[in-house]
Amino acid sequence: MNILILSAGTRNKIAQYFKKAVGANGTVVATDCSPVAPAIYDADKYYIVPRMTEPGYIDVILDICQKEKIDGVLSLIDPELSLLAQNRAKFEAVGTTVIGSDYELCERTLDKWATYCWLSEREYRCAKSYVDKDAFYADLEAGAATFPVFVKPVRGSASVAISKVSDKETLDLLFARGDGLMIQEFLDGQEIGADVYIDMISGEVVSIFTKKKLVMRAGETDKAVSFKDDKLFALIQKFVDESGFRGQIDIDVFDVGGEYYISEVNPRFGGGYPHAYECGCDHMALIKNNLNGQTNAPAIGGYEDGVYMMKYNELRVMKLD
């Protein structure tokens, strides 16, 4: 079996885990637009490709799929997920399965306002959000909203350009300087990450790993501890069943006073996934089974609680050709 990882970046562990899954008879190929993306060197083969926004990018990826006889392709960055989903039929035509959710879902998760609207319409607990500054001020005057709040791009990822704001002056300044912003309620609670795999054949949730985030850095989990809660597992299963996701997803949740609030969803491997893998939630094996036409049996919470994950820096030093 041959796997293609797009925009590999610094996700070395993802490449390593896929190599273990495919074994000696398979190949893991990675791409990035930069030759100093360390994860590409943990793959069996790599290609330096144009940026995904460049014309003809998808044709370059399709050529790699044909040349390397790729069985499954996935991306590790949010904007590329929609591009893959949009071109799913082209990949199928060359014998490659896009590992991920459909275009509509990828677009909705990239759009934080659309995500909020979907969640609130279905009465999920979530951070109250605004794209209209005046609507927020009206709620502020009525006592239905309070500072601090988060101001963030409606479409964005990796916690880029997010500001915690505690006064009107700063809020007005941010909105005057930028377009496409939204205001989001500050959830004062324990942040939780959930690594979830939805079988691509049956559509069932077959694996859930949850962790309490202890330290964050650059939008990713730096330190965390595993835990289990049947109430949270049930919420995740309900949410996924109603949404229709497929493959790997990463969900951010907040525990506020004993109630779970869904914050964001990324339909890809999150930066904290290695914690799940090292605790026994091998989602690469689940992907391999699906690509082989095998349905996975559900094994929710198949891990120990109280297991800590602590990231630390590693180096790759080499001379490039």
For 235-245, the pLDDT digits (tens) are 999 999 999 99
pLDDT band at 293 (very low <50, low <70, confident <90, very high): very high
pTM: 0.94
For residue 137, is pLDDT > 70? yes
The pLDDT tens digits for 9-58 are 999 999 999 999 999 999 999 999 999 999 999 999 999 999 999 999 99
User: Are 206 and 286 contacting, i.e. CB atoms less than 8 angstroms apart?
Assistant: yes
- What local confidence, expressed as pLDDT, does residue 250 receive? 97
The superfamily (CATH) of domain 188-310 is ATP-grasp fold, B domain (3.30.470.20)
Please state the rounded mean pLDDT for residues 216-233. Answer: 91
Q: Measure the CA–CA gap between 249 and 265, rounded to whole angstroms.
A: 7
Matching CATH number, 2-99, of 1.20.1050.10, 3.40.50.460, 3.40.50.20, 3.40.50.1000: 3.40.50.20
- What local confidence, expressed as pLDDT, does residue 313 receive? 85
Please state the rounded mean pLDDT for residues 202-225. Answer: 92
- What local confidence, expressed as pLDDT, does residue 146 receive? 95
CATH code given to domain 128-185: 3.30.1490.20
For residue 321, is pLDDT > 80? no
Q: Measure the CA–CA gap between 126 and 187, rounded to whole angstroms.
A: 9
- What local confidence, expressed as pLDDT, does residue 217 receive? 80
Q: How many helices (H) and strands (E) does the chain have?
A: 11, 15
Domain positions in the chain are 2-99, 128-185, 188-310
For residue 159, is pLDDT > 80? no
- What local confidence, expressed as pLDDT, does residue 241 receive? 96
What integer best gives the mean pLDDT of the chain? 95
- What local confidence, expressed as pLDDT, does residue 157 receive? 61
Q: What is the DSSP string of 249-304?
A: EEEEEEEETTEEEEEEEESS--TTHHHHHHTT--HHHHHHHHHTTPPPPP-TT-S-
- What local confidence, expressed as pLDDT, does residue 220 receive? 79
Q: Report the 10 Å Cβ neighbour count for 117.
A: 15
For residue 218, is pLDDT > 80? no
Task: Tell me which of 113-127, 215-229, 271-285 is least confident.
Answer: 215-229
pLDDT band at 60 (very low <50, low <70, confident <90, very high): very high
- What local confidence, expressed as pLDDT, does residue 179 receive? 86
- What local confidence, expressed as pLDDT, does residue 253 receive? 98
